[in-house]
Amino acid sequence: MSMTDKSANSSPVGRRTVLLATGATAATLAVGVAASTDAPTSQADNTAPVAAAAVCTLTKEMTEGPYYLDGQYVRADISEGKSGIPLKLTLTVVDDDTCAPLNKALVEIWHCDALGEYSGFVGNNGHNEPDNGTFLRGGVLTDASGVAKITTIYPGWYRGRCLHIHIKVHTNVTLTSDGSFTGGQELHTGQLFFDETITAKVARLSQYAVNTVPRTALAQDSIYDGGGARSGLLTLTALGSTTSAGYAGALTLGVEQG
């Protein structure tokens, strides 16, 4: 399988939407631009804020890519001690018709580590390390506010792709005794993207600089289309005064039910 994900069709898929949530006014929100900031969050709250004001805008789905594995764990922390700076995600799922939050939707993510390697496929990016088939994979159920909070690390990169995280949203899943899930309906498949200015700083840190593969910038990526939050661009907020302290990332996803 090619190391580079093949791009999905560029046209919107049905009526599936993404909600753009920032702290701006309604007029600014209508522009549809995600925000990033290096200002640290307060110590009392280490997740990115989700603003009350929001505007629904159309988005297309993104390719699943070649590295998906079924049956991953339902868990809030998928990092498994992997090297890298903290990334604390706050992902909100809403109905695209009513903007009402979806309760008990499973938000599942998977991504590569600092070396650009996916669990279950280690070696495809030219680095050797232990492979248990589960690191940096998993998901959680949304709460009554439609919010899923997942702790991971800021991803690395592999040949031909910018930094990104894959995401699926499922409903009506069945939790299993081994901590995984089965069944349900898949409502959304997409990717989360990262501000290039912040990524450039992260890439200089020692944990990431050991990745020997040339990094593809966001603007050079074959899949990200420059659509901002409509195409999965996270709002990033620094967790501390240094890059190594990590980031919080937020995005609100609107999905079509039924």
Q: What is the pLDDT of residue 2?
A: 42
The pLDDT of residue 61: 84
Spacing of C-alpha 28 from chain mean position: 24
Select from 157, 135, 2 the least CA-distant residue to 65. Answer: 2
Q: Beta-strand (E) ranges in the chain? A: 17-21, 36-37, 54-58, 86-95, 106-110, 137-141, 147-153, 164-171, 174-175, 181-182, 185-193, 235-238, 247-255
Total-model pTM: 0.82
Region 44-65: what's the mean pLDDT? Answer: 56
What single DSSP character describes residue 219?
A: G
> Among 234, 258, 90, which residue's Cα sits nearest to residue 186?
258
Q: Residue 198: phi, psi to the nearest 5?
A: -70, -45
In whole angstroms, give the CA distance from residue 88 to residue 190.
Answer: 18
Say yes or no to pLDDT of 194 above 50: yes
Share of the chain above pLDDT 90, in %: 69
Rounded distance, CA 173 to CA 105, Å? 8
* Look-up of token digits 């549809």: 32
pLDDT in tens, 211-229: 999 999 999 999 999 988 8
Q: How confident is the model at residue 100 (pLDDT cuts 50, 70, 90)?
A: confident
DSSP 3-state helix, strand, coil percentages of the chain (rounded to 5)? 10, 30, 60
- Strand 147-153 relative to strand 137-141, pairing: unpaired
Q: If phi over 0 gives left and psi between -120 and 50 gives alpha, with beta otherwise, what is residue 136?
A: left
- Average per-residue pLDDT for the chain: 82
Q: 9 falls in which pLDDT band (50, 70, 90)?
A: very low
DSSP category for residue 233: B
Residue pLDDT, tens place only, 116-170 = 999 999 999 999 999 999 999 999 999 999 999 999 999 999 999 999 999 999 9
Tokens of 67: 């590295």
Q: State pLDDT tens for residues 233-249.
A: 999 999 999 999 999 99
Q: Are 166 and 191 in contact (CB under 8 A)?
A: yes
CA 187, CA 141: separation in Å to the nearest integer? 14
Q: Please check whether residue 49 is in contact with residue 248, taking contact to mean a CB–CB distance below 8 angstroms.
A: no
Q: What's the CATH number of domain 69-255, 3.30.420.40, 2.40.50.140, 2.60.40.10, 2.60.130.10?
A: 2.60.130.10
Residue 229, pLDDT score: 86
Q: Domain extents for the chain?
A: 69-255
CA 182 to centroid of chain Cα atoms = 21
- Indicate whether 95 pLDDT > 50: yes
Write down the pLDDT at residue 3.
Answer: 45
**pLDDT computed for residue 40 by the predictor:** 54
Rounded-to-integer distance, Cα 17 and Cα 231, Å: 10
Radius of gyration of the chain from Cα atoms?
A: 17
More confident residue, 48 or 79: 79
Query: DSSP character for 172?
Result: S
